Structure 1
């Protein structure tokens, strides 16, 4: 049997959960080949200099819709296939909470930007990668959020895109039975997003919501990026077919074997 090194496309790798996923994958005894994207690649460029299995690409998934298809096809999918000849998994982690604004003052332009970043870019990434994923019986791991079904003041754009992502996951599982796809809620993770919630976005949310998010930090109750990152990375490497189409929390018992 011919051995091969799997190829994973990881988005949103520059910080937070994505950076934790990247570090976990690079630290494996037999790491995969990785194409890692981020809008700002300063934090991950040095890794590419010492890890020959890592390709780093700067991508703005909030680009206008007229540009998005070309950006994804040429900068992401074609780059991976040209370098390694295959794609085995998409680990789609990029996203943005902004705009945090109540509906009565929301900007449609801001919502459109959020939908390009959090949802439409994922649709285009999957669509562009499908020919290669079909060849490899590949995997798609979507990073969703509990906000897809739990509601906070001002989170209408973010939460609705994550709900759409969960539906996309189930639809993909139905339409592409040779590809295994899962949508994972990572919990409330100790990242820059939480720092913003306790700061500038607190002005939009209710006092009770502010108290909730601040108490998580004070009580050291948030999820560590490296813990959820390991689960997401292992799912991208070897998710079992029986999970296809499911929306799960990262710490569900059914995912215990994917923990580091």
Structure 2
């Protein structure tokens, strides 16, 4: 009797900040390529909407909560293990200005940045991604997986008013670069997606017309090329990835 062919389980991706914007676009793009998903975001209602749409395509576990919460990060790692173990971690969740109250200047100057808000900004944008990566690393190592950290041009350009956000993203960039050296069997990327037509950009640019910026779905399709080509670890700009032939992006 012929044995039934072995079917490999679908790979698992853990995506933070997945209720809207680039995180949601990446989740949909991964689902369309057969990935199982663990998704999280702070907004429970928006996350539930995302879960309902994604569940029509793939298996998805949605866990609302904040990535700065130790117990929540542990639940995310456990959920990924329950689906078979993560092959990809996308650290996309981020904050522009920490806990600044609605109606405040969206991007305070460094001289005026409340230190509690600045601390929270670093916790969300730098410390929490590192902490979540620590938890998921055993799963990623077992599968020669990948970490995708969403960065920003503000990490390398001194824009007025973006000092807190940019410094927190610069910290994430440095952590990404060191992790790539320490975990040579993985792929570890920091990617500046550029401006996108998202709520976050509109909040950072009140009153400005952002209708000419690319949609998150366009950027997500570019970022998936990192996975398909198993591009060498490093820091990239989405615009450069879109323009570069696949042969120039490295490989196994």
Which TM bucket (shorter chain)? 0.7 to 0.9
Higher RCO structure, 1 or 2 (CA under 8 Å, sep 6+): 1
Distance 1:234 1:54, change over 3 A: farther
Higher helix share: 1
Deviation at 1:178, TM superposition (A): 1.0
Distance 1:154 1:56, change over 3 A: same
Specify the alignment match of 1:144 in structure 2. Answer: 151
Q: How many residues end up aligned between the 2 structures?
A: 230
Q: Distance in 1 between matches of 2:187 and 2:31?
A: 23
Listed one character per residue, the Cα deviations across residues 183-232 of structure 1 (whole Å, up to 9, x for unaligned) are 10000111001221232xx7xxxxxxxxxxx3x63xx5412211111122
Superposed counterparts of 1:124-139, under 5 Å: 124-139=131-146
1:227 has 2:218 as partner: yes
- Taking structure 2 as the reference length, the TM-score comes to 0.84
- Report SS of the residue matched to 2:108: coil
Deviation at 1:256, TM superposition (A): 4.8
Check the 8 A contact 2:28/2:54 in 1, yes or no.
no
Specify the alignment match of 2:101 in structure 1. Answer: none
Q: Distance in 1 between matches of 2:54 and 2:212?
A: 33
Deviation at 1:116, TM superposition (A): 1.1
Structure 2: runs of 5 or more not aligned: 1-5, 99-106, 248-252
Specify the alignment match of 1:43 in structure 2. Answer: 49
Specify the alignment match of 1:26 in structure 2. Answer: 31
Distance 1:77 1:197, change over 3 A: same
- Taking structure 1 as the reference length, the TM-score comes to 0.81
Structure 1: runs of 5 or more not aligned: 203-213
Superposed counterparts of 1:1-260, under 5 Å: 3-28=8-33, 31-40=34-43, 41-47=47-53, 49-61=55-67, 63=68, 68-73=69-74, 75-82=75-82, 84-99=83-98, 100-199=107-206, 214=208, 217=210, 220-235=211-226, 237-241=227-231, 243-244=232-233, 246-253=234-241, 256-257=245-246
Check the 8 A contact 1:5/1:32 in 2, yes or no.
yes
- Report SS of the residue matched to 2:72: helix
Deviates more, 1:118-127 or 1:222-231: 222-231
Distance 1:45 1:2, change over 3 A: closer
Q: Distance in 1 between matches of 2:132 and 2:19?
A: 18
Check the 8 A contact 2:54/2:60 in 1, yes or no.
yes
Distance 1:234 1:10, change over 3 A: farther
RMSD: 2.1
Q: Distance in 2 between matches of 1:197 and 1:176?
A: 35
Distance 1:147 1:22, change over 3 A: same
